[in-house]
């Protein structure tokens, strides 16, 4: 088993599904668990999607935990209509998967993260690809989490490009700006992989055709869900050249930071009821990193 342990925090939509497959398939990390989040779909649907995808990939040994179902400042969460158009009502492009034999764990996702941080410390890689509610909640419950986790690489934010929800905000930050700011200003060894980078990493139907040619159930199902995603990007005018690999890129960078170069910045989120704005202040020494792709 690999020395490095990975926890994924997924609001399991289509690009989360590819992130999950990447983590399962990379021999350099041992995927020890998935925490369910909200965003692309409701938390229960995200958890079941993760279980079914793990089953599809022959990874039924990986446990799935339920995280926080909404932000710390609201009492519920509603999926945005645009998320359903991009990911489908079931979160995975209306693709039907065989139901996994395993069920979600009884331990909460937040408690699982806290325990893993203490057990693995520097060897733990944590990849949140949805709102940062689970991470912020864990830090609030046990402040040591902020310094114990060896590598936190998140997908979220839009620092130098427009957001995908408002002109200023990316969806993951927009869902819970207060906890995003809490995590940005406390979590050490934090790498942000934002839209600035991920919108430049596109997958096309040329690649999904190659997956289908493998003639396996898993390859075919992943091709189906990714084709839905590519078509949604084209139909909604997001990008007609292909669909962005947001969450898989975060996993890739979490495992191998050489995929990108990094710009050291102190990050925080300025929030009011009218706008959410990401702010970066350049510093000489900091553990808060904003990811920028190699030229």
pTM: 0.92
Quick one: which of 238, 251, 244 has its CA closest to 10? 251
Query: Does residue 285 carry a pLDDT above 50?
Result: no
**Percent of the chain whose predicted confidence (pLDDT) is above 70:** 92
What domains are defined for the chain? Answer: 4-201+245-293 (3.90.245.10), 202-243 (no CATH)
Under the banding of pLDDT at 50, 70 and 90, the label for residue 266 is confident
* Residue 193 in tokens: 């992989």
Edge-first strand order for the sheet with 64-66 is: 64-66, 29-36, 4-10, 124-128, 151-155, 190-193, 288-293, 260-271, 276-282
pLDDT digits (tens, 9 = 90+) for 159-195: 889 999 888 889 999 999 999 999 999 999 999 999 9
Looking at residue 277, its pLDDT comes to 67
Measured distance CA(220)–CA(222) in Å, rounded:
5
Residue whose entry in the numeric block shows the structure tokens 């091709």? 223
* Residue 140 in tokens: 């609030």
* Rounded mean pLDDT, 116-123: 98
For the ranges 32-46, 96-110, 141-155, 270-284, the lowest mean pLDDT is seen at 270-284
Measured distance CA(277)–CA(269) in Å, rounded:
6
DSSP 98: P
Measured distance CA(112)–CA(96) in Å, rounded:
29
Which SS3 state, helix, strand or coil, does residue 267 take?
strand
């Amino acid at each position: 088993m690999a020395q490095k342990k990975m926890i994924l925090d997924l609001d399991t939509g289509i690009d989360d599904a590819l992130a999950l497959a990447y983590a399962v398939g990379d021999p350099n990390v041992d995927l020890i668990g998935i925490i369910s989040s909200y965003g692309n779909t409701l938390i229960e649907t995200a958890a079941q999607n993760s279980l079914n995808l793990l089953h599809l990939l022959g990874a039924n040994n990986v446990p799935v935990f339920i995280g926080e179902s909404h932000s710390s400042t609201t009492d519920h969460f509603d999926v945005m209509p645009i998320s359903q158009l991009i990911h489908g009502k079931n979160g995975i492009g209306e693709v039907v998967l065989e139901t996994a034999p395993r069920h979600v764990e009884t331990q909460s996702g937040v408690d699982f993260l806290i325990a893993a941080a203490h057990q693995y410390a520097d060897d733990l890689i944590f990849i949140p690809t949805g709102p940062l509610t689970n991470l912020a909640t864990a830090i609030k419950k046990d402040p040591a989490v902020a310094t114990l986790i060896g590598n936190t690489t998140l997908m979220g934010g839009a620092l130098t490009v427009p957001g995908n929800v408002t002109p200023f905000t990316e969806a993951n930050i927009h869902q819970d700006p207060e906890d995003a700011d809490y995590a940005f200003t406390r979590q050490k060894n934090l790498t942000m992989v934002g839209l600035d980078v991920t919108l430049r990493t596109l997958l096309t139907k040329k690649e999904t055709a190659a997956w289908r040619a493998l003639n396996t159930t898993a390859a075919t199902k992943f091709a189906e869900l990714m084709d839905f995603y590519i078509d949604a990007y084209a139909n909604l005018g997001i990008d007609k050249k292909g669909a962005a690999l947001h969450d898989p890129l975060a996993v890739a960078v979490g495992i191998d930071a050489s995929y990108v170069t990094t710009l050291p910045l102190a990050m925080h989120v300025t929030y009011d009821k009218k706008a959410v704005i990401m702010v970066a202040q350049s510093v000489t020494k900091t553990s808060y990193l904003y990811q920028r792709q190699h030229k």
